[in-house]
Chains A and B, each alone.
Chain A
């Protein structure tokens, strides 16, 4: 047993399957997309090499710019609304003594539901005529307050963001909560003896100690929101008139609806680079010291 563990072949044998899968389903597609990006290709007939034309076109493409901007909205929303909310709810749950497990499971339920289901559910809630939200508004306010949630270009993205937040917050809460509950009791007790109040405790003890988890959440949020596809695809399909288009839905449309696989690949490549750069910067920024209890 010991001998086997010292043998490098053992390690290689264990990582090779993963590496192969990684190469086949990640490296290969990425490289091939880069190559396809230089062609005009409908997926079936001969490819035509057009150099950087696809990328030049991408640079001037208003829809892509709009889509990128929408991705940034997604990101900003999750950074300034979701993460503080997650932290707040986690603190509250960590303070509760009774039924803490119940709350923990309750916030996690939306995570378990598939995104497709969430999207359709919220689609029903947002329905102009019969949706619960408008029904409620009509009950307590004048008719004119009812909104076309998913078909008003000003509101559609926000409506999606809310649905998205509802689904994703639970996962982050569980992460954050675990970190909070992991803080050694002695520290909290010691601070109590020093006369720290609740607000100070949160601000100067809990927050710094869960920082690593917050960074993980940050990273997950950024990469998650930049590549978001499913919830937008199902709730609005990028509409109305492309006002909620994100990079991934636009890529899908260009590649498989308009059958411009070359241009679609170029969009994919752009996404790849943007996400890589963003997460790279974030990792640089957050390469901070280990937390010492």
Chain B
């Protein structure tokens, strides 16, 4: 009996220990995670630092798909080169799915204060949050020292209060990819105005093709073309003004923009049943020759000029979205952004920061950027002096970019996430023809007011 009491007590104590250990971790995680993280990463490095200078950096990337093999290879080459040049430096690469990283894993790690040392991160709203929580390493001194600050096409998305917290490795622009075969078969010219766009779309439709391939299940896909139509009507500044409360979604120009988009829908220019289709279907419609055009981002350029194109290889072109007569926006501007980049943890110690500097010096070079452009067709985030050897589609993309009068970032990087979600629903309602532009505008405005009030 006595024995059983003691063992019972032992058991209880051990349970309590386990429980309190859990609790302790949680408290620490919530209250002062940054310090805890630093301690953990510092400890091993500091003890070893004097003799061997063994430095380890964990690097999280999302290049795990078949289509991103080339990008991964480039990253691995840079890592290998950096390791070779710096004895004792080891990178630990870890690849996970892009969406899992962005929406779950990285966010959870950021909340707990233990992100990887180097990680892929999106500029804009995501970065804002992480900087506010003090998780991101300020890169301004590093890029000043390396003298590469002015070489980037744009660091806007990664700059907060004049400090740079991430470096883009590539960019994209959004416009129309088209099937050159169908265009020449029907004798169509590239449209430069809204009226022309509607004209050629009618012709394409009459010939039995889908004018615009669309897969509308996920809101952001519809948001791309809608965004450009809206920008033509209201100008991109208006999007910031609705957030600050100076403008309303129900203002005349916004409603005009929504009406214009609804016009495309009501003329049945999009794929039928689009609301049930996932994004990959959209590109497939273009490549199978069913759709004459798709509005999407240049991240698909690699796919459109790859083997999947089959007969259409080399027959896919890219042109800027036409101007809209009488619109208040910049009629030759383009949605382009350099928001895919690498961020670095604020928990790094000095040795690790020194290693990060070496990595940046090796990764952000004209040579690597050129290689990414040629092999992966990713728009370079740095200004390149030599553009030889790129394929025709990439040339077209670069031309469109060069001809754009200005560039702006997408609506979902400007408005609050909750408003962005309601916009996506509103566009779907237009596509499903269950609502009117006025009603959609009212709904988005209501959501905007709610989000503004919560700020």
Query: Is there contact, CB below 8 Å, between A150 and B275?
Result: yes
Does residue A20 face the partner (Cβ distance < 8 Å to B)? yes
Task: Give the shortest distance, in Å, between B348 (CB) and chain A (any CB).
Answer: 19
Is residue A230 within 8 Å, beta carbon to beta carbon, of the partner chain?
A: no
Interface positions, chain A 269-291, Cβ under 8 Å from B, are: none
Complex interface bits, B247-279 against A, C-beta within 8 A gives 1, otherwise 0: 000000000000000000000000111111110
Chain A residues with Cβ under 8 A from B146's Cβ?
none
Are A237 and B272 within 8 A (Cβ)? no
- The size of the chain B interface, using a CB distance under 8 A, is 44
1/0 per residue, CB under 8 A from A, across B402-417: the answer is 0000000000000001
Can you list 15 A-B contacts with CB-CB less than 8 angstroms, sorted by A residue number? Answer: A9-B11, A24-B22, A42-B129, A44-B135, A129-B273, A149-B273, A151-B274, A151-B277, A152-B432, A153-B434, A237-B217, A239-B216, A239-B275, A242-B425, A253-B421
Give the complex CA separation of A241 and B271 in angstroms.
17
Q: A127-B277, A256-B104, A260-B418 provided; 19 other pairs, C-beta below 8 A?
A: A7-B4, A9-B11, A12-B11, A40-B454, A43-B107, A43-B111, A148-B276, A149-B273, A151-B277, A151-B432, A236-B276, A239-B219, A239-B428, A240-B275, A240-B432, A241-B275, A258-B417, A258-B421, A259-B129
Complex Cα spacing A16 to B14, Å: 11
Distance between B316 CB and nearest chain A CB, rounded to angstroms: 21
Question: Known: A9-B8, A241-B432. Is A44-B111 also a contact (CB below 8 A)?
Answer: yes
Task: List the 6 shortest-distance A-B pairs measured between CB atoms, nearest first.
Answer: A128-B273, A150-B276, A151-B275, A151-B276, A240-B275, A241-B428
Which residues on the A side are within 8 Å of B4 (C-beta)?
7-9
Query: Contact: B15 with A239, CB < 8 Å?
Result: no
A-B interface contact total, Cβ < 8 Å: 106
B40 proximal to A (CB < 8 A): no
Residue of A24, A127, A153 near B273 (CB, 8 A) is A127
Q: How far is B426's CA from A9's CA once the two chains are assembled, in angstroms?
A: 61
In the complex, A156 has a CB within 8 A of chain B = yes
A268 contacts across to B, CB distance below 8 A: none
Tell me whether A156 and B276 are in contact (CB under 8 A).
yes
| Nearest neighbor of A151 in chain B, beta-carbon distance | B275
Does any Cβ of B come within 8 Å of A45's Cβ?
yes
Check if B133 sits within 8 Å of A44, measured CB to CB.
Answer: yes
Given contacts A127-B276, A151-B276, contact A44 B110 (CB under 8 A): yes
The answer to whether B429 has its CB under 8 Å from any CB of chain A is yes
Interchain CB contact under 8 A, B11 and A13: yes
Shortest C-beta distance, B409 to chain A (Å), equals 18
Most chain A beta carbons < 10 A, residue from B219, B271, B417, B420: B417
A257: CB under 8 A from chain B?
yes
Task: Tell me, in angstroms, the Cα distance from A254 to B273 when the chains sit together.
Answer: 26
**B32 → chain A closest CB, angstroms:** 13
Contact with B along A1-25 (1 / 0, CB 8 A): 0000001110011001000100110
Does A37 touch B at the CB level, under 8 Å? no
Can you name the residue of chain A whose Cβ is closest to the Cβ of B133?
A44
> Contacts A16-B15, A128-B272 known; A153 to B129 CB distance under 8 Å?
no
Most buried by A among B19, B111, B129, B432: B432
Are B276 and A44 interface neighbours, CB within 8 A? no
Interface residue tally of chain A, by bracket? Answer: 35 or more
Q: Which residue of A lies closest to B290 (CB)?
A: A129
**A9 touching B7 by the CB < 8 A rule?**
yes
Q: Does A126 sit within 8 A of B, measured CB to CB?
A: yes
Indicate with 1 or 0, residue by residue over B166-209, a CB within 8 angstroms of chain A CB atoms.
Answer: 00000000000000000000000000000000000000000000
CB proximity to A under 8 Å, residues B117-132: 129-130, 132
Would you call B11 and A44 a contact (CB within 8 A)?
no
**Closest CB in chain B relative to A245 CB, distance in Å:** 9
Chain A binding site: helix, strand, loop or mixed by DSSP? Answer: loop
| Given A16-B15, A257-B103, A257-B417, residue A44 in contact with residue B132 (CB < 8 A) | yes
With A20-B15, A236-B217 as known contacts, state yes or no: A123 contacts B454, CB within 8 Å: no
Chain B positions within 8 Å of A43 at CB level: 107, 111
Residue in A44, A237, A260 whose beta carbon sits within 8 Å of that of B129 in the complex: A44
Q: Bound state CA distance, A127 and B418, in angstroms?
A: 30
Query: Which residues does chain A contribute within 8 Å of B22, judged by CB atoms?
Result: 24
A257 close to B276 (CB less than 8 A): no
Against B, the Cβ 8 Å flags (1 = close, 0 = not) of A221-253 are 000000000000000110111100000000001
Most A CB atoms within 10 A — which of B133, B276, B426?
B276
C-alpha gap A129/B274 in the complex (Å): 10
Q: Which residue of B lies closest to A147 (CB)?
A: B273
| Residues in chain B near residue A9, CB distance under 8 A | 4, 7-8, 11
Q: How far is the CA of A281 from the CA of B171 in the complex (A)?
A: 56
- For B151-178 the 0/1 string (1 means CB < 8 A from A) is 0000000000000000000000000000
- Rounded to whole angstroms, the CA-CA distance of A240 and B435 in the bound complex is 12
A153 engages B107 (CB within 8 Å): no
Q: Please tell me if the beta carbons of A149 and B429 are within 8 angstroms of each other in the complex.
A: no
A140-156 residues with Cβ-Cβ distance < 8 A to B are: 148-153, 156
Write the nearest CB–CB distance from B128 to chain A, whole angstroms.
10
Scan A195-221; emit 1 where CB is below 8 A from any B CB, else 0: 000000000000000000000000000
Contact (Cβ within 8 A) A123 B276: yes
Query: What's the Cα separation between A151 and B432 when bound, in Å?
Result: 8
Q: Does B49 contact A (CB under 8 A)?
A: no
Determine the chain B residues whose CB is within 8 A of the CB of A239 once the complex forms: 216-217, 219, 275, 428
A259 to B421, CA, bound (A): 11
| The residue from B7, B19, B278, B425 contacting A241, defined by CB atoms under 8 A apart | B425
Which residues of A have CB within 8 Å of B428? 239-241
- Say if the beta carbon of B366 comes within 8 Å of chain A: no
B18 is an interface residue with CB less than 8 A from chain A: yes
Compute how far the CA of A151 lies from the CA of B276 in the bound complex, rounded to whole angstroms: 5
Query: Within 8 Å CB of A257, what residues of B?
Result: 103, 417, 421
B99-110 vs A, CB cutoff 8 Å, 1 = contact: the mask equals: 000011001001
User: Which residues of the other chain, B, contact A24 by a CB distance below 8 angstroms?
Assistant: 22
Contact with B along A75-89 (1 / 0, CB 8 A): 000000000000000
Residue of A nearest to B276 (CB): A150
Q: Which residues of B contact A150 (CB under 8 A)?
A: 273, 275-276
